[in-house]
Each structure stands twice: as C-alpha cells, then as structure tokens.
Chain A
C-alpha cells in the first residue's frame, strides 16, 4: 500500500526538527510529495497539477516558511483546500414534481442498479413512495436484477413490456406512478461508455422525455485517470445534478472523487459502502479528503463508534488502554465492544494504514473466533486474566480443557494479546486518546 501524505511529509521535514525554519527547497520537496500522494490516490494528473500550484501559492502566502511545525501546517493547508474543492456535504435528493424523477447513469458495472435499490430504501425510510423503472435493456438479466433488488427493499418495479424501448417504459412508469400515488420514480439505465454515440444519444432522449429533477452520475470509487474523461462526457451529454461514488468500502484512495468533482462541477451526494441496500451514506468532503490523503477516515470511525458503543464503557477502556496494565479482561471487554461496531474489517479499514491498530489481527474479531476467545478468557481465573504472565503450561492446559479449545489456541490468544499490548504502548498518549477526546 502507498504511504499517506503524513508519512511522506515526515520524510521531507525530518531534518528540520528544532530548526523551525523551512527553506524554499524544503517547500518544493513538500509540494513534490503532495503531488505523488495525490497521483497515487488516482487523482487525475491535470487536476493534481493545478492543485499543487494552488497549494504552493497558498503555502507562501501563509508564511509556512516561518512556521514551527511545518508538516502539520502543510497537511492542514492541503486538507482544507481538498475539502473545499470536494464541495459541500451531500444533500438529500431534490424531489420536485409529481412524480419527481431521478435518473441514474454511468459506465458499465459502476453500481447503478444496486444504488437504485439503495435510494429506494432511503426514500421509503423517509416516508416517500418510490417506484423503480428497469431501463437497462442491454445487460443480460438486468431487468430481473432490478426486480429482485426492488423486492428486497419493498419497492415496486416497472419492467419493459413487449417491444418497449427505454423511453417508452419510463414514460409508462410515469403514468403508473401518477395512477398509483408514487411520488418518486427512480430510473435505472444500462451502463454505457461515454464514447458510445448511440447509447449516449439514447440516454439524452430519455432525459428529455422525463425532465428528471435529479440526474445522478454513478461512479466507481476505484476509477483511475479516466474518471475525468467519462465524467466530462456524461456532464456534457446530460444536465447532471450530482454524483454517487460507489464501492467506498474497498481500500481505494478514491482520488477519482476529486477528478470527477473538478470536471463535472456538480456535488457528490452519496457514497456506496457495501452491496446491501442499507449501505448508502451521505457524502462528507472532509472524510473524503482524509481518505485521499491516506490519513484514514477517522471521523467515520468516530461516528460509528458513537452509534455502536457505550460511551462510558469506551472511556473506561480508553483509560485502560492508556494505562500501563492492559490485561486480558480489558481485551475481552474491548472485543465485545468491537463486536457492537459491526463488521470489524470495515472499521479497521477506516483507520490510517500506518495507524496504531494495524497490529490488530482481524481474524480475532471474526464471529466464531470471538466466541472462542471469549470462552478461553472466561475459563481463566480472575488472577490469570489480570496477570497473564502467571499462565504456565499446566494453567494453559486447564484453560484449554475448560474452554473446549486447545493449548495451541490458548497460546495463540496470548500471542495476540502480547502483540496488542505492545501496539497499545505505542499508541499511548497518541492517536486513540485524541480520537476519543474529539468525540467527547
């Protein structure tokens, strides 16, 4: 994996500790690192170029050269600029008209159909009565896919009949919606290449026929340099009103967000964070900025933690972690808390790559592993849990028997515990406390 901006800049500024002054030379080095970080995050090279230029100007204006902690300042400037370029917080759908029409468009496989279902669910939860339209007549079984997606979220689907083309289905769907009191019509379309003139003309016709209040470009967060081209072409062909970025549950830096935003000039509204219907979230420019810069989506983590964790318990744990004697009881409590956070790999994914929790073995929080770990810890005496160093061979054998596991498993757990303890020593007074403080 690539280094984030933070690690990159550390290299540039390392020699300056204590000097407190930064030469032009060093600033240039910093700009080079910013450029690299953004390119590695897949931001389009032209977008990077103008971005770095702007940062250079600002950095001078802000007298970075005399600052005491130049790396932090540079990061702040970069991050702030990135946040502002990424635009506003994702707004909910605008739903004027009876029915309001939402048109989804994009390349093949970007996630349009899945997103149509997610939007259907979201609208239903907001007391709307959406109707889905199966407008993909290209891909094999695309209609059936939307039918199943619709059934999954309890939203009816209008499918093509006879020789209807996509415009005809959509127009019929509008009258169905009026007749049956649906207030929003969500139109799924076939994926198309922006250079496919025929299909681009088709979707233009569709948009003209429907006058959608929202025309959303659904883009894959893993997209590379080409994001600029496809987004430009879609924006030229249609009056886009927003972008939805999918597959953010992956580990791509997502520089395409900046590229797309820069050329399409419409706000990013939502992000897809999974394959399930509920995996749709509002777009947050600050989180996206951190992610692009490889600084981890700490804010998302905090929000998740807030929703999922008992805050007193969290605080107690944080204190324990911060103190020197993190023991097996704390480990058990922590694992229990983590379980509440949901799929932990998702949570871990949001942490900075080089961050303190990197040493945590994700298999530990696998549901069955978790139960085993709990069983092992529960089979220990209180004394053993608090002072794991007394666990000799015979004690370990007893615990293995008691928990229905093996000595090997017990050893494995102890090894993991030691690794965690070591890791926590490193983070003490650092990241986690700051995170929890920010939260409180």
Chain B
C-alpha cells in the first residue's frame, strides 16, 4: 500500500462548501436553544414584574453562567448592570438585554486588538490542548489566505499524534497547498526550521504551523512548544509572527487556565474559538478577554475550510444572549 492509498479512504467532504452567509445560519442553530432556554425563562421571570428584583437577577446570573462565562465574570457583569439600573426604574427586558450586550462588548473590546498585519510575510503558530481543532483551523486559515491570493505553506509540526501529518497533508492536497513534513515522531522544531527556510525560498506570504495538542499542565510538552516558538523567533527574521491559541467552544472554565498557561509558555497573540456551531455558547471567551486581556480573533463554525469567521465582539455578545424574544428566530 502506498502512502497515497492509505490516505484514500477518507472521501472528499460530503457536505457542500458552505456559502459565506451560513455563518449566521450556523450560529443560529445554537441560538435556537439560547432563545428558548434563556429568554423563555427570562420572560417567565419578568412577567408581571415592574422592577428588576432578585429573581430577575438570578435568572440573568444563570443565563450567563449557563453560557460558560464563569462565576466571576458573571458577577462582575451583573454588578455593572445593577449599577446602571435605578431602583425605581421600570423593567424593560430589551433595555436590560442591550445593556448586558454593551457590558460584554466592553470586556471583549478591552483586550488589545491584534496588530494590523504588516507588509512582510506572516507565520502563524497554532497551539492548544488536544482535539480543539488546530489542524482543521490550519486548513481554514490557509483557505482564507488563498482567497486573498496569497502564497501559502503549511508545516506539519504535530509529529506525535497518529496520522496527524497525513491529516494536514490531505488538507494540503485538497487546498492545493504544499505541506512541509518530516517523519512521524520527529522533532517538531526541526520541521518548523525547515518550513521557515522553505517559506523564505519560495517567497510565501503565509506560513501556517500546525502543532500537536498538549495539555498545559505537562511541563515537557510546554517546553517543547517554547522551543518551537524560539526557532520561529530566531529563524523568522523579517516575518510577522503570530501565535494563535485554538480553544474548543464547548470547554468550560478550564479554557481560562489554558489561555493563561499557553500565554505563559509562548506569548499567545489571540484566540481562535472553534466549534461554535454547536450549542455551546463559548462564553468562556468573555472570561478569557477579561482575565487575560487576550483578544478573540476568529470563530470556527464547522469542519470545512470555509467555516471560519472573524470575531466581532458585539455580534458575539448578542449571539450569546440570543435574539430578543419578540423577534422570531429563523
């Protein structure tokens, strides 16, 4: 069996390449739940009430915690909300909602926004814990650069997980992008070194480095990542360097710890929140922005290369809360 045959069994994607519009459609799939759950409960809580009382606050609290914002961030948001409500003020659900969106957007926008892309070539290092969507995100970022007519190169620096190299190579074939690879079990830093040389020689605009998933509490694996990063710093002179942490939107509060530890090890520039097309709200992104001042850069909204959208704080906050209960959801 040749390598090519081995790669064969995975058929071409059975789903049609989604149109750009599908972003909202996909987010809405999740929103359906948000709508029925948060806002029906919310409506029940406020029905017949004239003022924002403890019960209303409790429901809000549960909605936010239920969206994975975490206890602290939720408390802070509620406090801010309370600060803006006069005790005698009539209860206006829409207004309350809008304020909440505002407050969340403040937290999200507060994080330093990514540097505008410089003129030179860019190297993006994708990092994260196991199974979050790094390899798929590498394909997505590649696709996006191709759409801008950039020359793209992929580097298969996950030399550890079974068939991780093959997975990236397959994406490379589907996208028509070369993949720099070595043998399984090899030194990932050496792959990155090669890729930078190749990238320079081929004058690529965007080199995307896929790495092995690693839990942030494993010292040696974090040290390995730091080494990769050092190679990029040392060899990547003249390259704009981005390190992107891929976080799974279904993750709970541990994502904050992930962000902290990865930032400590490799100086993360921003977060790509993958799998937001499920029913998880990914509210932990708000906690990450608040605690670590890390910007959220992109959202992963599916398994295909086209399923990547830029993060827009206000849209995200709105999506998190679901559409107002008065407007029907499509």
Residues of A within 8 A of B (CB): 1-2, 36, 39-42, 44-45, 107-111, 113, 134, 137-149, 152, 159-160, 193-195, 220, 222-227, 229-230, 247, 249-253, 255-256, 275, 345, 349, 362-363, 366
Kindly provide the distance from the CB of A143 to the nearest chain B CB, expressed in whole angstroms: 4
The answer, among A109, A139, A195, A345, for a CB contact under 8 Å with B10, is A139
| Cα distance, A113 to B130, chains bound together (Å) | 13
Are A144 and B278 in contact, with the CB atoms below 8 A?
Answer: no
Q: A139-B303, A252-B254 are in contact. Are A194 and B279 (CB under 8 A)?
A: yes
Are A147 and B6 in contact, with the CB atoms below 8 A?
Answer: yes
Kindly provide the distance from the CB of A124 to the nearest chain B CB, expressed in whole angstroms: 17
Are B66 and A141 in contact, with the CB atoms below 8 A?
Answer: no
Q: A141-B10, A226-B278 are in contact. Are A249 and B252 (CB under 8 A)?
A: no
Residues in B whose Cβ lies below 8 Å from that of A144: 6-7, 9-10, 162-163, 166-167
Among A39, A140, A229, A256, find the residue whose CB has the most chain B CB atoms closer than 10 A.
A140
Are A193 and B162 in contact, with the CB atoms below 8 A?
Answer: no
Are A251 and B162 in contact, with the CB atoms below 8 A?
Answer: no
Are B66 and A225 in contact, with the CB atoms below 8 A?
Answer: yes
Subset of 20 A-B contacts with CB under 8 Å: A39-B71, A107-B250, A138-B303, A140-B170, A140-B171, A143-B9, A144-B163, A144-B167, A145-B163, A147-B6, A148-B162, A220-B250, A224-B253, A227-B250, A230-B278, A250-B129, A250-B217, A256-B252, A345-B219, A349-B217
Residues in A whose Cβ lies below 8 Å from that of B11: 137
Q: Give the 6 A-B residue pairs with the shortest CB-CB distance, closest first.
A: A224-B252, A109-B131, A42-B252, A226-B280, A145-B163, A252-B254
| Cα distance, A250 to B261, chains bound together (Å) | 12
Are A251 and B254 in contact, with the CB atoms below 8 A?
Answer: yes
Residues in A whose Cβ lies below 8 Å from that of B166: 141, 144-145
Kindly provide the distance from the CB of B134 to the nearest chain A CB, expressed in whole angstroms: 10
| Cα distance, A249 to B129, chains bound together (Å) | 11
Kindly provide the distance from the CB of B8 to the nearest chain A CB, expressed in whole angstroms: 9
Residues in B whose Cβ lies below 8 Å from that of A107: 250, 275, 278
Interface size on B, residues (CB 8 A): 58
Are A109 and B9 in contact, with the CB atoms below 8 A?
Answer: no
Binary CB contact string for chain B from 144 to 181 against chain A (1 if under 8 A, 0 otherwise):
00000000000000001111101101110010000000
Residues in B whose Cβ lies below 8 Å from that of A110: 131
Kindly provide the distance from the CB of A23 to the nearest chain B CB, expressed in whole angstroms: 21
Residues in A whose Cβ lies below 8 Å from that of B252: 42, 222-225, 252, 255-256
Chain A residue with the shortest CB-CB distance to B249: A226
Kindly provide the distance from the CB of A172 to the nearest chain B CB, expressed in whole angstroms: 13
Are A222 and B10 in contact, with the CB atoms below 8 A?
Answer: no
Residues in B whose Cβ lies below 8 Å from that of A147: 6, 163
Residues in B whose Cβ lies below 8 Å from that of A251: 215-217, 254, 257
Kindly provide the distance from the CB of A63 to the nearest chain B CB, expressed in whole angstroms: 29
Residues in B whose Cβ lies below 8 Å from that of A39: 65, 70-71
The answer, among B68, B161, B174, B250, for a CB contact under 8 Å with A275, is B161
Are A145 and B251 in contact, with the CB atoms below 8 A?
Answer: no
Are B284 and A224 in contact, with the CB atoms below 8 A?
Answer: yes
Which residues of chain B in 226-260 are interfacial with respect to chain A, using CB atoms and an 8 Å cutoff? Answer: 248, 250-255, 257
Kindly provide the distance from the CB of A200 to the nearest chain B CB, expressed in whole angstroms: 13
Query: What 17 new A-B contacts, CB under 8 Å, besides A137-B10, A140-B135, A195-B30?
Result: A39-B71, A109-B275, A138-B10, A139-B167, A141-B10, A142-B10, A144-B167, A149-B162, A220-B250, A222-B255, A223-B250, A223-B252, A247-B215, A250-B215, A251-B257, A275-B161, A362-B219
Q: A1-B257, A220-B131 are in contact. Are A366 and B219 (CB under 8 A)?
A: yes
Are B6 and A224 in contact, with the CB atoms below 8 A?
Answer: no
Kindly provide the distance from the CB of A282 to the nearest chain B CB, expressed in whole angstroms: 21
Which residues of chain B in 14-46 are interfacial with respect to chain A, using CB atoms and an 8 Å cutoff? Answer: 14, 29-30, 33
B199 on the interface (CB 8 Å rule)?
Answer: no
Kindly provide the distance from the CB of B77 to the nearest chain A CB, expressed in whole angstroms: 15
The answer, among B131, B132, B133, B278, for a CB contact under 8 Å with A195, is B278
Kindly provide the distance from the CB of B251 to the nearest chain A CB, expressed in whole angstroms: 5
Among A45, A142, A226, A250, find the residue whose CB has the most chain B CB atoms closer than 10 A.
A226
Q: A145-B167, A249-B215 are in contact. Are A222 and B251 (CB under 8 A)?
A: yes
| Cα distance, A272 to B257, chains bound together (Å) | 20
Residues in B whose Cβ lies below 8 Å from that of A140: 10, 135-136, 139, 167, 170-171, 174
Kindly provide the distance from the CB of A47 to the nearest chain B CB, expressed in whole angstroms: 11
Kindly provide the distance from the CB of B2 to the nearest chain A CB, expressed in whole angstroms: 12
Chain A residue with the shortest CB-CB distance to B247: A222
Q: A134-B9, A139-B10 are in contact. Are A109 and B279 (CB under 8 A)?
A: no
Kindly provide the distance from the CB of B243 to the nearest chain A CB, expressed in whole angstroms: 20
B277 on the interface (CB 8 Å rule)?
Answer: yes
Are B10 and A42 in contact, with the CB atoms below 8 A?
Answer: no
Residues in A whose Cβ lies below 8 Å from that of B66: 44-45, 225
| Cα distance, A229 to B281, chains bound together (Å) | 12
The answer, among B68, B160, B220, B303, for a CB contact under 8 Å with A108, is B303
Chain A residue with the shortest CB-CB distance to B130: A247
Are B68 and A224 in contact, with the CB atoms below 8 A?
Answer: yes
The answer, among A41, A160, A345, for a CB contact under 8 Å with B218, is A345
Are B65 and A222 in contact, with the CB atoms below 8 A?
Answer: no
Are A195 and B279 in contact, with the CB atoms below 8 A?
Answer: yes
B98 on the interface (CB 8 Å rule)?
Answer: no
Are B280 and A225 in contact, with the CB atoms below 8 A?
Answer: yes
B67 on the interface (CB 8 Å rule)?
Answer: yes
Residues in B whose Cβ lies below 8 Å from that of A148: 162-163
| Cα distance, A360 to B163, chains bound together (Å) | 37
B62 on the interface (CB 8 Å rule)?
Answer: yes
| Cα distance, A345 to B215, chains bound together (Å) | 12
Kindly provide the distance from the CB of A438 to the nearest chain B CB, expressed in whole angstroms: 25
Residues in B whose Cβ lies below 8 Å from that of A224: 68, 250-253, 255, 280, 284
Among B29, B216, B252, find the residue whose CB has the most chain A CB atoms closer than 10 A.
B252
